[in-house]
Amino acid sequence: MAIPTVLKPRMLVAATAAFALSACFGAPDVMKRSDAKRPGAKTVQRPQVTGAPSFTSTDAQQCAFDLKQAGVRFTPLPNQDHGGGCSSIDSVKLLDIGTPVTNLGPMTCPLARNFAAWAQYAVRPAARKYFGTEVVKIETYGTYSCRNIYGGRSGRLSQHAYSNAIDVAGFVLADGRRIMLDGGWKGDRPSQDFLRALHKSACRRFGTVLSPDYNAAHYNHFHLDMSGNGFCR
């Protein structure tokens, strides 16, 4: 299987380095990396003009290939500079990852690839393990949003501003139950175990994972993004 290999954190670092926008913005200070100072670091490139061709780099093409190999249906999006520093570079619109997902906007390909793998290899098996049923829908608060961290008026842009983050609100099971972060994180035992198993798995797959334990702003969702290198709270 190609997917588990490509999801190793070290390779993600390499992959995200090519996504020049992602590494040094929107992440807590503790995990900021200085790519410019690393030997062999790639030159940071500015967002391309609206409508520019996407998936021209080797890393981006590999990512699109990996998505296809995983059986994911998606539409590649043209590179977009949305203004205000916000962009969607080498991004996709996910059409089918095997489980319906609400509110999906543009996602950078590495984010889409890891999200699809998380749904397949973590979310669905965990639902079977803890609830004995299937997940029929993943509910999110969206992906792209041109805004600062925590929606503040000043400060760094959020990874959402680069289409490089997704906020997951909860999961609908085949029997109709809804296991939401708001309520479930401190809810009954199966809900707690299920959500913590998903959190643990997410921390192996995404660069930054913020849960309700991180701060009050995250009481109702997991924030998953591809910046940083294993910031897990």
Q: Which of residues 60-119 bind Zn ion (CB under 5 A)?
A: none
Residue 205 belongs to what H/E stretch?
helix 189-205
Cβ-contact 47, 21 below 8 angstroms:
yes
| Part in contact with Zn ion (CB under 5 A); list of ranges 68-76, 104-112, 147-155, 162-170 | 162-170
Q: Which residues contact 153 (CB under 8 A, 6 or more apart)?
A: none
Other CB atoms closer than 10 Å to residue 232's CB: what's the count? 17
As beta bridge partners, residue 108 has: 91
167 is a contact residue toward Zn ion (CB under 5 A): yes
Whose Cβ is closer to Zn ion: residue 99's or residue 227's?
A: 227
Tokens of 58: 């080797």
Shortest distance, position 165 Cβ to Zn ion, whole Å: 5
Shortest distance, position 101 Cβ to Zn ion, whole Å: 15
Shortest distance, position 2 Cβ to Zn ion, whole Å: 28
Cβ-contact 182, 219 below 8 angstroms:
yes
Shortest distance, position 221 Cβ to Zn ion, whole Å: 7
Whose Cβ is closer to Zn ion: residue 90's or residue 167's?
A: 167
Which residue of the chain is nearest Zn ion when measured via CB? Answer: 223
Whose Cβ is closer to Zn ion: residue 59's or residue 167's?
A: 167
Tell me the torsion sign for CA atoms 5, 125, 115, 56: positive
Whose Cβ is closer to Zn ion: residue 78's or residue 105's?
A: 105
Cβ-contact 13, 206 below 8 angstroms:
no
Q: Which of residues 2-61 bind Zn ion (CB under 5 A)?
A: none
Distance, CA of 181 to CA of 187 (rounded, Å): 9
Shortest distance, position 167 Cβ to Zn ion, whole Å: 4
Cβ-contact 122, 197 below 8 angstroms:
yes
| Part in contact with Zn ion (CB under 5 A); list of ranges 1-9, 100-108, 167-175, 177-185 | 167-175
Whose Cβ is closer to Zn ion: residue 62's or residue 143's?
A: 143
User: Residue with structure tokens 């969607």?
Assistant: 88
Whose Cβ is closer to Zn ion: residue 66's or residue 167's?
A: 167
Give the residue, chosen from 17, 198, 223, 228, that forms a contact with Zn ion under the rule CB under 5 A. Answer: 223
Tokens of 232: 């897990």
Whose Cβ is closer to Zn ion: residue 165's or residue 181's?
A: 165
- Residue 206's nearest CA partner among 184, 191, 228, 190 is 228
Size of the residue set binding Zn ion (CB under 5 A) = 3
Which residues make up the interface to Zn ion (CB under 5 A)? 165, 167, 223
